[in-house]
Amino acid sequence: MQKRRLSHILLLITAYFAVAHSCANTTAPPSGGLKDTLAPVLVKVSPDSNSINFPREKGKIELKFNEYTVLKDPEKQMVISPPQKKRAETKIRGKSIIVEFKERLDSSRTYTVSFGNSIVDNNEGNIFPQYRYAFSTGSSIDSMLATGSVADAATLLPIPGVTIAFYENHEDSVLYNSLPDAVAKSDKWGYFMLTNIKPVKYRVIAFADGNGNNIYNPENEKLAFLDTLFTPGVVMKKGIEQLKYVDPMDTTASLARKSEMQLYLFREEAGRQMIRNYERPLDRMSFVKFNLPYVQIDSVGFENIDSSFVISQFNVKRDSLVLWLGDSIKRVPDTLYLNIKYMKSDSLDNLVSSRERLKLTAPRRKKEENQPSRNTDIRQDLLKMKVEANPALLEKDGYILEFPAPVSVIKKEEILFKSVTPKGIEAKEEYTFGRDSVELRKYYIKPKNKLLEGHDYVLTLNQAAFRDIYGHTNDTIVSKSMLPKNERLARIDLTVKGTKGATYVIELTNQSRERVYRSYKVMHDTELAFPYLDQGKYSLRIFRDENSNGILDSGNLKERRQPEMVRLYLLPSGSSVIELKEGMELSQNINLDEIFK
């Protein structure tokens, strides 16, 4: 009896605390049960989508759902087209989302409000996907659409969140100063769609709108543009493929969507041409930095110095000029004057011939430079050159020699190259010696004969083999190398055809195309080898080198010049990713004419 009474008391106590705990947490969702995975359901729209005669002032839209919702990143996700200077205001009121326009709408204009993935339910964050609302302030609503995709010009990877802008006015100035007539944003696959636009000719650009003002800023935003005007040709009709929802998690379906245009985003070389900076960091060396590449120079020279005593060098992009005074000049003045005549941008951004006189003062010497060196082992006239050799690239690039200043004397008889067999037998090896086509302080020493695994290769540069324009000479340098010897390393061999007189650059990169492992400049049909590769995933990136400078050049909007065309080599499976296993040897044929047609 007593045990039964005790059990009854314990049961009452347990029930009491359970009820008390339940009452104390009135806002917490009930625990247990199935997780809510359903998206919110739109039950009412006011006014109806595709309505006409929408009020131009103080207009608002109400979306009512079957459950409580929130807006996630509306500043990034929501797109109003055409855009306004003042952003529309969004509010949550009960189970409704309210959009209020704070700026007067244009007359007889069709607008769209794309919510992207911003609408989610309050509990589990389930997305109400890609809802678009359209209306017109006039008596009719535009019904054309356009689709496309945007990718990085260098990597060809899709870029999300890019603003695509359509302009009815085709003047250049409009692109920099006015809001577009229609906009959209690219999704995670780089895909975009503009709906409810006019059947008129548009000028089309895309840009990474960093400040969110819907106006292209060439100073710090990447750009893409169409070469020609675009006229929409697809009418919005119920059931067409373009208007069907595609789950962004479905890779196959996302990549299969119809696209009318392909845009390639790049960093524009824009601005005004002028001298941006100039300096004399060393007694006998000065440089001039220009604001834009490929400057046009008519003449350049120092006052009272014979031009034959001056060594000059442009960089690859011709936006930086370095000048050295040779050792024929015994005494260099403390102040130099450089006269330069070049094509400079005027106030209207037109290139006009201009002459400038630059004052170059000798650098101040630090106190320690005027004091004799305490380290007696280092001579004052030592030429501090660099010798680099990558074993995996030894056959292709050889030894790379870099000097701090132009070289005036080279004694080739003091350059020795030999091989040593595993048994210690030495043999003299033939080599070629040449200067880089652009960088006059860089030289290459390349083996003539095929290199053998297991052999040591020794390059010896005897003392005073090189002397620069300052009279500095090198100490003896010995560089020893051996080809990689590892059966686990893989290789790729390419047979390249279809060059047809054009110049291409073929690069072996990582999967994301951000890092280049090997590079070949190709001007005729040939065979290329990429040996000694670690297992992993690679891509072959190819670009048409229009000016044969060996680098991927950018584009220019005002000049209507696109960046140099980039393509990826695709395996027979259609994949651009080459996955190498240990010890794998892969041979492929590349037809450049087919890839770039």
- The pLDDT value recorded for residue 329 is 85
Q: Which CATH number fits domain 42-136: 3.40.50.880, 2.60.40.1220, 1.10.3470.10, 1.20.950.20?
A: 2.60.40.1220
Is domain 386-482 annotated with CATH 2.40.128.110? no
**What are the contacts of 542-547 at 24+ separation with CB within 8 A?**
542/504, 542/505, 542/506, 542/507, 542/566, 542/567, 542/568, 542/569, 542/590, 542/592, 542/595, 542/596, 543/504, 543/505, 543/567, 544/502, 544/503, 544/504, 544/596, 545/503, 545/504, 545/505, 545/521, 546/503
Q: What is the pTM of this model?
A: 0.83
The span from the CA of 187 to the CA of 254, in Å, is: 10
Give Cα separations from 339 to 284, 297, 311, 328, 343 (angstroms). Answer: 16, 11, 15, 21, 14
The span from the CA of 119 to the CA of 45, in Å, is: 14
Domain boundaries, the chain: 42-136, 144-265, 275-361, 386-482, 490-595
The helix/strand/coil state of 112 is strand
Cβ–Cβ under 8 Å, residues 114 and 61: no
Report the topology of domain 275-361.
Answer: Immunoglobulin-like (2.60.40)
Residues 6+ apart with CB under 8 A from 499: 522, 523, 524, 525, 592, 593
Is domain 144-265 annotated with CATH 2.60.40? yes
- The pLDDT value recorded for residue 219 is 86
- The pLDDT value recorded for residue 480 is 95
Fold matches, 275-361 and 386-482:
yes
Q: Which of 477, 412, 398 is nearest to 444 (CA)?
A: 398
Q: Which CATH number fits domain 490-595: 3.40.1550.10, 2.20.25.90, 2.60.40.10, 3.90.650.10?
A: 2.60.40.10
Cβ–Cβ under 8 Å, residues 240 and 247: no
DSSP bridge pairs for 286 = 323
Cβ–Cβ under 8 Å, residues 273 and 295: yes
- The pLDDT value recorded for residue 13 is 39
338-394 pLDDT tens trace: 999 999 999 888 999 999 999 999 998 765 555 555 555 678 889 999 999 999 999
Low-confidence ranges of the chain (pLDDT < 50): 1-32
End-to-end CA distance of the chain: 96
